[in-house]
């Protein structure tokens, strides 16, 4: 399963009014593992960035003046994403700019070259309704360090999005372990040996912590009139 996390930076917010892509960052996942086979371009948009956009990404017209134009890198980009699942945060925004650039070259829309497009903003809203679901907010929620992100950058944001996506889609929805039924046991009765577990570090509670825990259980036991199940388990 090949997945590409993609992000862009642009001269402004509206592709229809002529704003252009100035940076593209792509990070590759293969079977949910980072491969390091990333793709990154700075692009000459042939126009200045709007003041608000410049404050976000910091890529000046002077810096971008000697960078390739989108037409120069279009084939390399499309070859790279071909047949992959493309994962974008707030996909309609980036797709509007990519499609506008491809239209200028008389090429098909971006989704014609890829397997599917997944919007992590939609996923995040389903998982965390009513919460803030910006990339920064998701980094905070999942404990992903983004302190080095002083300005937006397409490759950096794609790398952060990869970590957020993996955290959001781990798939564990229960702490229970399904044990094999007799029908699922090997016919010959031989079970493959598991590799040895790594050393487990056990941190025991201090005396103060145990006392505080007992006090909480005592309070619960009082509220439930002696029916606190954890009191019984502890005694057992």
Percentages (nearest 5) of helix, strand, coil residues in the chain? 40, 15, 45
CA distance 164 to 142: 7
Q: What does DSSP say about strands 85-88 and 116-119: parallel, antiparallel, or unpaired?
A: parallel
Which member of 89, 148, 152, 213 is catalytic? 152
CA distance 5 to 27: 5
DSSP 3-state of 91: helix
- H/E stretch holding 195: none
Residue 152 designated active-site: yes
Four-residue CA torsion sign, 8, 9, 11, 14 = positive
Burial class, 146, CB count within 10 angstroms (exposed 0-12 / middle 13-18 / buried 19+) = middle
Report which of 4, 2, 7 is spatially closest to residue 153, judged by C-alpha positions. Answer: 7
The helix/strand count (H/E) of the chain reads as 9, 6
Contact 21, 97 (CB under 8 A): yes
| Catalytic annotation, residues | 152
């Amino acid at each position: 399963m090949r997945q590409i996390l993609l992000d862009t930076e642009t001269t402004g917010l509206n592709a229809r009014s002529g704003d252009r892509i100035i940076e593209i960052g792509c990070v590759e996942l293969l079977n949910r593992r980072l491969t390091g086979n990333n793709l990154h371009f700075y692009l000459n948009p042939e126009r200045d960035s709007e003041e608000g956009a410049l404050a976000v990404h910091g890529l000046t017209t002077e810096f971008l003046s000697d960078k390739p134009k989108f037409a120069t890198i279009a084939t390399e980009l499309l070859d790279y994403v071909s047949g992959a699942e493309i994962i974008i945060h707030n996909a309609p925004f980036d797709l509007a700019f990519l499609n506008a650039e491809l239209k200028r070259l008389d090429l098909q829309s971006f989704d014609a070259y890829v397997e599917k497009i997944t919007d992590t903003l939609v996923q995040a809203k389903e998982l965390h309704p009513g919460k803030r679901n910006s990339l920064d907010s998701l980094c905070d929620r999942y404990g992903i360090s983004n302190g080095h992100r002083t300005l937006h950058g397409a490759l950096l944001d794609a790398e952060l999005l990869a970590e957020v996506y993996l955290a959001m889609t781990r798939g564990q929805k229960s702490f229970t372990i399904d044990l094999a039924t007799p029908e699922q046991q090997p016919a010959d009765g031989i079970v493959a040996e598991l590799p040895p577990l790594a050393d487990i570090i056990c941190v025991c509670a201090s005396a103060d912590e145990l006392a505080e825990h007992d006090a909480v259980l005592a309070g619960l036991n009082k509220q439930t009139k002696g029916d606190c199940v954890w009191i019984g388990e502890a005694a057992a």
